[in-house]
Structure formats: structure tokens, C-alpha cells
Amino acid sequence: MGIGRTIRIYLDDGAITGIKHAEIVNWTGQAISSPRTQIKTLSEWPESKKPGVYFLFGVDEESGRQAAYIGEAENVYDRLQNHALNKDFWNEIVFFTSKDENLTKAHVKYLESRLLSLAKSANRYVLQNGNGPQLPVLPRGDRDSMEEFIGNLRTLLGVVGHKVLEAPAGHENEAQQVVIPKPEQDILNLKLRLNVSGILAFAEISDEGIVVLKGSQLSSNTRESLGNGYKKLRDELVSSGIITEHGGKLIFTSNQLFTSPSQAAAVIVGYSINGRNHWCDDSGRTLKNLEEQNV
């Protein structure tokens, strides 16, 4: 069980769409979130004139998916002015600096490299970066401090609305390696399987919905009953390489988050289906039955 944290968020103009300052109690780091329209106002914030790492968030023009650019700077505000002139995709920046003066150029370069690696692994956003920078060598103590910084950064980044660093599931198990939990375990993190017309898929229930696991199979065909939104999502997953052909079958090449069991099931089987009646645990109990028991 994780340890609870106290987070303070200050709304600069009292609006949730404006500039926000977020901090974790007893941590020297801090996060500033700002819409692109208020860049000029950031010049009045001394926090923006320090070394730090930053995220630009927007939409990828080609895929329509959420997009992000991750960078570092000795003076975040100076770098931001350059991006305002040369990068069009973004509409929000979230940057992280330190309340003290202990965050150096070497530190932020380390953070940038590690954050890019985490974002690529999570595969939630289309990254606008080119080749990622090489991870610089830091003294052991500095490296461990930066890893701790990243842990707190991820928390604050999620709090201000972005899960770019969070993998859809807590592990990358192959579908064939799924271990079904005991009946008394909670619904959260429950492992389920879908077996329809010879199509075998595995998934895990999470706080965000349902995560179909890497290696799960899909139908090669779709029917008219599959909604347009589901068809579009399926096509996007194919074009992005998350769904691909392997051994004559379509499979997921990585864990994929869906908002509901029915959305996941429909994309997998290729037609409209009630996922809660078809996702089952190892004992054959449907997700609907398990939810009713849990209530």
C-alpha cells in the first residue's frame, strides 16, 4: 500500500484553466502549468527563470492523438519563448524547477533523458522530440536524488492532468503469462480473459478503465454493428503499430488502455458486444458478476 501525500495547488487568477502552481508538502520541487495564451504572464514568475524540465502538450496533426514535447533548459522561460515562435502543436506547458538552487544543468539533462525514456515506454502521447539525448553520468548521490525527483514529478504531472509518463498497466507481462488472482481479491487489478470464437485476449482492471495486455488476439474482420468510434479507434491502433499481424493473427504489441470493458471487447471481436458479460476470471465468473459481488 502506497504512502499518502499532501499536495497544494495555487490558482493564479482563481480559474482552473489559468496558471497553476503545484507542490508536494516537504519537497523542494515545484510544478507550474500554464496555457499558451498566458506565456507573457510567466515572465513575472521567478520560478520560470530557473533550470528545469518542461512538457509541451497539444495534439498531433497526423493522428489526432495527444502529443507532447519534453525538454530541458537553464532558463525555462527563455526556452519557452523560442518554442512559442517555432512549435505550433502545443497549447499548454507544464514545467518543473526547484525552490532551492540545487538543480544544475547536469541534473536537468539527466531528467530530460529519463523522462523521454519513460514517455516512450508508456506510449500514451505522440512524442514530438527527435532522437533522445544520451543519459549523462552523475555521481551516485546526485543520480538517486534525480530519481526521487522524477517520482514526485510524476505525481504532480498526473495531478495537473497529464499521464504521459504512466504505463497503462503496472507491468509488461505477455498475455500468456497472466496469473489469475484468488476470488477474494478486489476488482482493481483483477486479471480477466476474453475467449470468443477462438479469439483469446487478457486484460487487467485499473482505475482508468481496462488494460488489454500485450500479446492478446483480435479478430481480423469487423462487422456493421461495430460503432464508427470503435472503428476509428481500431484503425488508429493499427496505424500506430499497437495492433499488428503476427503468425497469421492480429495481436496487441503493447498494453493498451480502454475506457470501458465493452469498448475493449468490441475493438477485439470486431462488433458491438457487452464486455461486462464476456470478460471473465479464471473461474468463469463474468466481470458483471464480480462487480455485483463486490458491491
* Residue 246, pLDDT above cutoff 90: no
Q: Where are the alpha helices (DSSP H) in 175-277?
A: 228-239, 261-269
Calculate what percentage of the chain has a pLDDT beyond 90.
63
Distances in Å between the alpha carbon of 30 and those of 22, 93, 156, 174, 249? 6, 14, 8, 37, 47
Are 144 and 236 members of one domain? no
Residue 166 counted as domain residue? no
Strands 66-73 and 126-127, sheet pairing? parallel
Residue range 196-204: mean pLDDT, rounded = 92
In whole numbers, what is the pLDDT of the chain averaged over residues?
88
Q: Which of 108, 126, 159 is the last residue of a domain?
A: 159
* Residue 173, pLDDT above cutoff 70: no
Residue range 54-82: mean pLDDT, rounded = 91
Are 191 and 134 members of one domain? no
**DSSP at 168:** S
Residue 170 counted as domain residue? no
Are 14 and 150 members of one domain? yes
Q: Which of 126, 159, 192 is the last residue of a domain?
A: 159
Are 143 and 20 members of one domain? yes
pLDDT band at 178 (very low <50, low <70, confident <90, very high): very low
Are 44 and 128 members of one domain? yes
Query: What's the pLDDT tens digit per position in 14-39?
Result: 988 899 999 999 999 999 999 998 98
Are 210 and 78 members of one domain? no
pLDDT band at 185 (very low <50, low <70, confident <90, very high): very low
* Residue 265, pLDDT above cutoff 80: yes
Q: How many domains does the chain have?
A: 2
Query: What's the pLDDT tens digit per position in 266-287?
Result: 999 999 999 989 999 988 999 9
Are 278 and 193 members of one domain? yes
Q: Do 163 and 124 form a contact (C-beta atoms < 8 A)?
A: yes
* Residue 127, pLDDT above cutoff 60: yes
Q: DSSP for 98-153?
A: ESSS---HHHHHHHHHHHHHHHHHH--SEE---SPPPPPP--HHHHHHHHHHHHHH
- Is residue 17 within a helix (H) or strand (E), and if so which, with residue range? none
pLDDT band at 189 (very low <50, low <70, confident <90, very high): low
Write down how long the chain is.
295
Query: What's the pLDDT tens digit per position in 131-164?
Result: 878 899 999 999 999 999 999 999 999 999 999 9
Q: Which domain holds residue 48?
A: 7-159
Residue 1 counted as domain residue? no
